[in-house]
């Protein structure tokens, strides 16, 4: 925009000469040609095109002398494109045109000198402004990039903190379960044994109902504590750590684990995925010639996903089809019925594909409905 304003200023400066001459057809043509030249220099990005058009404009001035009056605008365009020698030639030819016309030579010469100096000054200021603008854009881009990196680091830090809190919560649940089992459970067990011994040694009919009620209450308490301990233990299972433990203990071939699930995974999903991973890795070791296994666990807005794939090959004579699907699974040692039974309870789906390896793709919807 600054370039367009400055060139417009130099175009309008040509109307200064109308104070000393009449407006005629040639002056209007010169004005329109200069306007086209300046507009082209603004919208077209090719500097060579600018030089060609400016050269043509200067050459046309020998046919239309009125074009000399707009040479300051051409001078400014050439300076912007760093064509200093053509710009110098343009300024010299301006004075040649003024002297050739022979009218108001001192005034027009002074006016030309003023415009050329103004053009030079504006060109320097325009270059400085463009340089500052580029630096500002670079600083803004760098600031945006750093902000994005900072946001990413903050997000990763928040996820790490959330995971640490989650892991600490699971450890605390395990500790509480052990404390209840080791202390309260043992005390209740001893109380039940003492109550049983007291019932066996009791000879009073009056104490029998009391001892029976005490024994019943103690057994109910033991059952409740066992249920609570089991629930705490089940809820405290860390799916990621359990999967990492399974993959690290697997020595048949390398296993890569990609885990992208949240913290609040239902325990049914946890135990289902762990059981399937155990069985799949066992089958790879017993029935496959794979050299790499990839396990992907991912949580989507509407479902949980487990994908287990290896680069093993089928045994000779087997292919994946509806007729020999059971034979294929038997050959790989995969308990298809067990997997399907687990997934049916959770309304899950199992897909098997063989393309550059053996692949199990399992999905379980979050709003799962028990199948009867």
Reported as a single tens digit per residue, the pLDDT across 32-64 is: 888 888 888 777 778 888 888 888 888 888 888
My answer on whether 98 and 42 are in the same domain is yes
Q: Which tokens in the block code for residue 269? A: 């999903």
- Which range, 4-8, 217-221, 230-234, has the best average confidence (pLDDT)? 217-221
Partners of 361 in the beta sheet? Answer: 307, 351
- pLDDT confidence band for 2 (50 / 70 / 90): low
Answer whether residue 143 is part of any domain.
no
| In a domain? residue 309 | yes
Domain-located, residue 137: no
Write the CA distances from 152 to 143, 145, 147, 148, 156, integer angstroms: 14, 11, 8, 6, 6
Q: Is residue 251 part of a domain?
A: yes
109 occurs within a structural domain: no
- Averaged pLDDT, 234-240: 68
Q: Are residues 180 and 223 in the same domain?
A: yes
**Domain boundary residue, one of 194, 216, 235:** 235
Q: Is residue 139 part of a domain?
A: no
- 201 falls within a domain: yes
The reply to whether 253 and 304 lie within a common domain is yes
Is 91 part of a structural domain of the chain?
A: yes
292 and 354 part of one domain: yes
Same domain for 169 and 95: no
Question: Domain check: are 231 and 281 in the same one?
Answer: no
Burial of 344 (0-12, 13-18, 19+ CB in 10 A): middle
Domain boundary among 79, 103, 127: 103
Return all residues near 176 (Cβ < 8 A) that are at least 6 apart.
232
Question: Which of 103, 119, 143 is the endpoint of a domain?
Answer: 103
User: 7 near 41, Cβ under 8 Å?
Assistant: yes
For the cut 80, the answer to whether the pLDDT of residue 367 exceeds it is no
pLDDT tens digits, 310-349: 888 755 444 444 444 455 555 444 466 677 777 888 888 8
Q: Quick one: average pLDDT of 93-108?
A: 79
| Number of domains forming the structure of the chain | 3
Q: Which domain holds residue 198?
A: 163-235
301 plus 359 within the same structural domain: yes
CATH code of residue 269: 3.30.565.10
Clarify whether residues 81 and 24 are in a common domain.
yes
Shared domain check, 243 and 203:
no
Check residue 83 and report its DSSP letter: -
Same domain, 358 and 247: yes
User: pTM for this one?
Assistant: 0.45
């Amino acid at each position: 925009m600054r370039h367009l304003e400055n060139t417009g200023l130099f175009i309008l400066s040509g109307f200064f000469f109308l104070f000393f001459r009449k407006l005629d057809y040639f002056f209007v043509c010169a004005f329109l040609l200069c306007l086209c030249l300046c507009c082209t220099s603004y919208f077209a990005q090719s500097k060579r095109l600018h030089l060609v058009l400016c050269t043509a404009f200067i050459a046309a001035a020998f046919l239309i002398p009125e074009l000399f009056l707009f040479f300051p605008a051409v001078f400014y365009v050439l300076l912007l494109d760093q064509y200093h020698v053509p710009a110098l030639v343009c300024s010299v030819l301006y004075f040649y045109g003024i002297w050739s016309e022979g009218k108001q030579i001192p005034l027009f010469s002074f006016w030309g000198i003023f415009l050329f100096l103004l053009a030079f000054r504006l060109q320097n200021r325009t270059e400085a402004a463009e340089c500052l603008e580029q630096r500002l854009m670079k600083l803004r881009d760098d600031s945006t990039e750093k902000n994005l990196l900072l946001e990413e680091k903050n997000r990763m830090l928040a996820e790490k903190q959330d995971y640490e809190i989650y892991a600490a919560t699971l450890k605390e649940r395990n500790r509480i379960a052990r404390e209840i089992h080791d202390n309260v459970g043992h005390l209740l067990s001893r109380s039940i044994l003492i109550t049983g011994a007291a019932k066996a040694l009791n000879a009073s009919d009056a104490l029998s109902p009391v001892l029976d009620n005490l024994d019943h209450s103690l057994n109910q308490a033991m059952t409740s504590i066992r249920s609570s301990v089991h629930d705490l233990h089940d809820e405290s299972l860390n799916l990621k750590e359990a999967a990492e433990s399974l993959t690290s203990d697997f020595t048949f071939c390398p296993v890569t684990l990609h885990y992208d699930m949240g913290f609040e995974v239902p325990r049914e999903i946890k135990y289902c995925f762990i059981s399937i991973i155990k069985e799949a890795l066992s089958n790879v070791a017993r029935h496959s010639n794979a050299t790499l296994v990839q396990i992907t666990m991912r949580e989507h807005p509407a479902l949980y996903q487990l994908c287990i794939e290896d680069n093993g090959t089928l045994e000779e004579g087997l292919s994946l089809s509806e007729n020999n699907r059971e034979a294929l699974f038997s050959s790989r040692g995969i308990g298809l019925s067990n997997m399907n039974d687990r997934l049916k309870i959770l309304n899950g789906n199992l897909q098997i594909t063989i393309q550059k390896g053996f692949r199990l793709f399992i999905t379980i919807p979050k709003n799962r409905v028990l199948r009867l």
